[in-house]
Amino acid sequence: MSDCLEVRRFDASIEAVLDAVAAQLSQARSALFITGAGISADSGLPTYRGVGGLYDSAATEDGLRIEEALSGEVFSVRPDITWKYLVQIEENCRGAQPNAAHRAIACLDDHLDRVMVFTQNVDGLHRAAGSREIIEIHGNLQELKCTACRHEEVAADFAGRAIPPRCPACGGILRPKVVLFGEMLPEAPLERFIGALQDGFDIVFSIGTSSVFPYITQPVVFAGGSGIPTVEINPSRTQLSDIVDFYLPLGAAVAMTAILERLGLDCP
């Protein structure tokens, strides 16, 4: 890897789990990676909450929980409030580059028959890393659409824009093509994901997600119940930690680098 992490020494129990995960992956022809905000932490992006979170306090300066401020309900009546926090998130994502974990997953595209990434993240880093089959179930922050007409555009960043931004075609309010809190997941990507699960994978990873949503946990639970090896990579324990076959209490970049080293893969 171009910016390989320093070789790490782990205790014997973690070394054994890394060896076991690498052994399982070496036998796999397909892999599913379910990822959350934690995989982007080594790219300098904060999670919403928790250690290093962008919104650690109970309420934002507007007196709302961040989940309320970033909800479809608030956007419908106060788009300026929702956009205020969308801009803060975009500013924290601006200039971020894929890290070793993103690149490791993309690298596996060249060594397995199928690698699917199912991500909660809206930062586009899996795309930038070169992964080929990605479902961004919460959308992408850089893709905008008008709420009043069919205008769509791509925004590299939100710098210099009026808040809320207006449509250049009709003057309506623009919004990112992301799923706000309280909104339904998009049907087409979800159906595509369900179809992929039905086709089956040889190994399933959950990386850097707090695993609070059923559509994140259920695929892992289903895979484990079907005899498919399951792996969780997360410094913090979640409800999946005692369910998966292999739990690695490590950061995503460190863990994925160690796994690929065991496979003898040197990815750019």
Domains in the chain: boundaries: 1-45+98-138+185-263, 47-95+139-178
* CATH superfamily membership of 47-95+139-178: SIR2/SIRT2 'Small Domain' (3.30.1600.10)
Q: What is the pLDDT of residue 3?
A: 43
Q: What is the pLDDT of residue 51?
A: 41
Q: What is the pLDDT of residue 57?
A: 56
Crossing angle of helices 12-27 and 252-262, in 10° steps, is: 60
Q: What is the pLDDT of residue 58?
A: 62
Amino acid identity, residue 72?
G
Q: Which CATH class is domain 1-45+98-138+185-263?
A: alpha beta
Q: What is the pLDDT of residue 9?
A: 65
**Distance between CA 80 and CA 18 in Å, rounded?**
46
Q: What does the pLDDT profile of the chain (268 residues) look like in tens digits?
A: 444 444 456 788 999 999 999 999 999 999 999 999 899 988 988 665 444 445 555 667 888 888 899 999 999 999 999 999 899 888 888 888 999 999 999 999 999 999 999 999 988 999 999 999 999 999 998 899 999 999 999 998 898 889 999 999 999 999 999 999 999 999 999 999 999 999 999 999 999 998 888 889 999 999 999 999 999 999 999 999 999 999 999 999 999 999 999 999 877 6
pTM of the model: 0.89
**Distance between CA 105 and CA 137 in Å, rounded?**
18
Sign of CA dihedral 246, 40, 183, 178: negative
Active-site entry in 111, 126, 138, 151: 138
The answer to whether 102 is a known catalytic residue is no
Cβ proximity of 113 and 30 under 8 Å:
yes
* Residue that the structure tokens 């997600």 belong to: 209
Cβ proximity of 65 and 147 under 8 Å:
no
